[in-house]
Structure 1
Amino acid sequence: MRRTVTKQEIERFLSTNEIGRGTFGVVYKGALCDGDVAIKVLHVTEDTKEKAEREITTMRTVKHENIVEFIAELYEIPKLYLIFEFMDGPSLHQIIHNYNDHKYTNKDAINWLIQAAEGLNHLHSLAPKLIHRDVKPKNILLNGDKSIVKLCDFGNVRQLGSCMSNESGTHRYMAPEVYIDGVKYTEKCDVYSFAITAWEVYSRTNAYGPDKQNYQTLLTKVSTEDWRPLLEGIPKYTHKLLERSWSPEPKTRPTIKEILEDLKKTDFCENSIRQTLITGVSPSKGSE
């Protein structure tokens, strides 16, 4: 539900309630009369103003059960406060990388991926289509009992056909065509990112190894040598879908709607597979 907020309502939460920090801002937990909220604080400069305004414009018009709800914004130069519904559970990234606190099964993984795909499919079904451009586990949030999944962070969103910069997003999840200057790309870049995200859900590790690495080397290998995460140790029912979805040729990738349909038709054959814990694999070296 959209509403107006005042600076006084917001600032009382900004000294002790930090829950997240990124390149462009800090996120705090707050409370309004309607309940708990997430407060994203951006320090707006000439370089980041367009990104911030784009996120506001997108969130004002997008509403879906698998996309975090936008509540309000307040612009107090040079700060911009964005108010969202509060998701009281972990991010998918936190679930993947904290095995002791977050154990999950094949059934859980399929459920989370279906919901994330539902949110992404909504963006791709709009006219004009919206491309998220930063699909990754950190931008997929869950509620407290981990039954509801929602996409977040729409600062990189673009309309299909608009002028889009290259190398937008997070390098490990970026499709090969996004790396190349002057190449026009489509919503299929989100499909590629979704596939890498799905692989990490099943592997419980980062695709291509640790975060701190030479990303230029990674970009070269992914875009010119078709480097991809290894499928060894990943459930076999995912192999064909992953291979199609991270194809180097965007036109051969399925749509997110087709991925969603495939996920919903997943046949575990035996209940024991459905309930099997996903324990993960060794860090990927990619496909040679």
Structure 2
Amino acid sequence: MMPSVNPDPSDKDSEPFVEIDPTGRYGRYNELLGCGAVKKVYRAFDQEEGIEVAWNQVKLKNFSNDPAMVDRLYSEVRLLRSLTNQNIIALYNVWRDEEHNTLNFITEVCTSGNLREYRKKHRHVSIKALKKWSMQILKGLDYLHTNEPCVIHRDLNCSNVFVNGNTGQVKIGDLGLAAIVGKNHSAHSILGTPEFMAPELYDEDYTELVDIYSFGMCVLEMVTLEIPYSECDSVAKIYKKVSSGVRPQALSKIKDSEVKVFIERCLAQPRARPSAAELLKDPFFDEIDDEENDECVCS
């Protein structure tokens, strides 16, 4: 039996829900956690588990003349429900609200927000901490890329990676633009965040390795606290540099050659670019691996 959804009006301390899901389990508050081009994310509460969650809402009127896109969104979000990995934001429920013409889905919420904001707030972080975050992002990517079917994120950047600051756990979120690809692992539509997009994405013929390129740009941002290509004042200029192989200026500011070489590996031409599994074996992570092994020995 679900506790009463309409709180006693005399109870001044309770926060009122502005919306309840069809099962009565999840209640949405008015507080926005984030806002994107097509979706809003609100703070919400799972009454069954007694935990806070995120309520993602997509206004489908944005796609009113594209029913195929709506169907794709819905089926992809449904597929995401089947993904379970500690470095991927969990999706708990999804439904379409015909009356309000919205697609709603409930996801796990991370206490410290996204990695971009978190990193800005904590300017003095050891390279070891950055490696730990990077390693977790790669583990999430390896899970997506080796999934059946393979999932390409396509919009990986530091604002789509979320942090639980108390545990140092990092999770990839915002899989709204993910492409589910079949056996040949290739996809053909252009989307993403220009500064983080691999050159082959613009050619509309690419594989999951576009995520590795974006990951390299994430590491660059984590290390330099600069969004790649911030020297460019238009998407056209970014595109010109990316497609002609000109690296972002931020890369030349990195003094640590080990970090620089690692990022360059991620930004290599698609044929030479390593997979997430290969990068996890890179010497870059040796000190982290040793630490994890030590922990295993003791436990």
**TM-score for both structures, normalised by structure 1:** 0.81
Please name the residue that 2:32 is paired with.
18
Report if aligned partners of 2:43, 2:53 keep a CA contact under 8 Å in 1: yes
CA distance in structure 1 between the aligned counterparts of 2:43 and 2:28, rounded to whole angstroms = 11
Moved over 6 A (4+): none
**Counterpart of 2:35 in structure 1: which amino acid?**
R
Q: Are the structure 2 counterparts of residues 90 and 141 from structure 1 closer, same or farther at C-alpha, using a change threshold of 3 Å?
A: same
SS of the equivalent of 2:155 reads: coil
1:114–1:263: 8 Å Cα contact kept in structure 2?
no
Kindly tell me: are residues 147 and 11 of structure 1, through their superposed partners in 2, closer, same or farther at Cα, counting changes over 3 Å? closer
Shift of 1:10: 4.9
Q: TM-score, normalised by structure 2?
A: 0.78
3-state DSSP of counterpart to 1:244: helix
Is structure 2 residue 106 aligned with structure 1 residue 90? no
Partner of 1:40: 56
Identity of aligned residues (%): 25
- What secondary structure is seen at the aligned counterpart in 2 of 1:150? strand
CA pair 185-42 structure 1, distance change in 2 beyond 3 A: same
Report how far residue 126 of structure 1 moved: 1.5
Partner of 2:85: 64
Q: State whether structure 2 residue 215 is matched by structure 1 residue 194.
A: yes
Q: Secondary structure at the match of 2:230?
A: coil
Separation (CA, whole Å) in 1 of partners of 2:145 and 2:193? 20
1:250 pairs, out of 270, 280, 288, with 270
Identify the residue that residue 234 of structure 2 maps to in structure 1: 214
Q: Secondary structure at the match of 2:286?
A: coil
Q: Report the 3-state secondary structure (helix = DSSP H, G, I; strand = E; otherwise coil) of the residue aligned with 2:177.
A: coil
Aligned equivalent of 1:154: 175
Matched with 1:227 is 247
Q: Is 1:123 the counterpart of 2:147 in the alignment?
A: no
Larger relative contact order (Cα-Cα within 8 Å, sequence gap ≥ 6)? 1
CA distance in 2, matches of 1:260, 1:134: 21
- CA-based RMSD of the aligned residues comes to 2.4
2:58–2:102 CA contact under 8 A, matched in 1: yes
Question: 1:157 Cα deviation (Å)?
Answer: 1.3
Partner of 1:266, secondary structure, is helix
| Structure 1 residues 218 and 12: alpha-carbon distance in aligned structure 2, compared to 1, 3 A threshold | closer
**Residues 7-51 of structure 1, C-alpha deviations (whole Å, 9 max, x = no match):** 7665651x2x11100011110111112111000011113445145
Letter in 1 for 2:267: W
Query: Paired residue for 2:291?
Result: none
Q: Does 1:205 align with 2:240?
A: no
Q: Give the deviation of 1:149 after TM superposition.
A: 0.7
Q: Deviations over 1:217-243 (max 9, x none)?
A: 110111024333423334322122211
The one-letter amino acid of 2:52's match is D
Partner SS for 2:282:
helix
Give, in whole Å, the separation in 2 of the partners of 1:171 and 1:224: 14
- Tell me, in whole angstroms, the C-alpha distance in 1 between the residues paired with 2:139 and 2:185: 23
Q: Distance in 2 between matches of 1:127 and 1:55?
A: 13
Structure 1 position 80, deviation (Å): 1.4
- Residues of 2 paired with 1:225 and 1:12: CA distance? 45
Cα distance in structure 2, aligned partners of 1:163 and 1:241: 25
Aligned to 2:129: 108
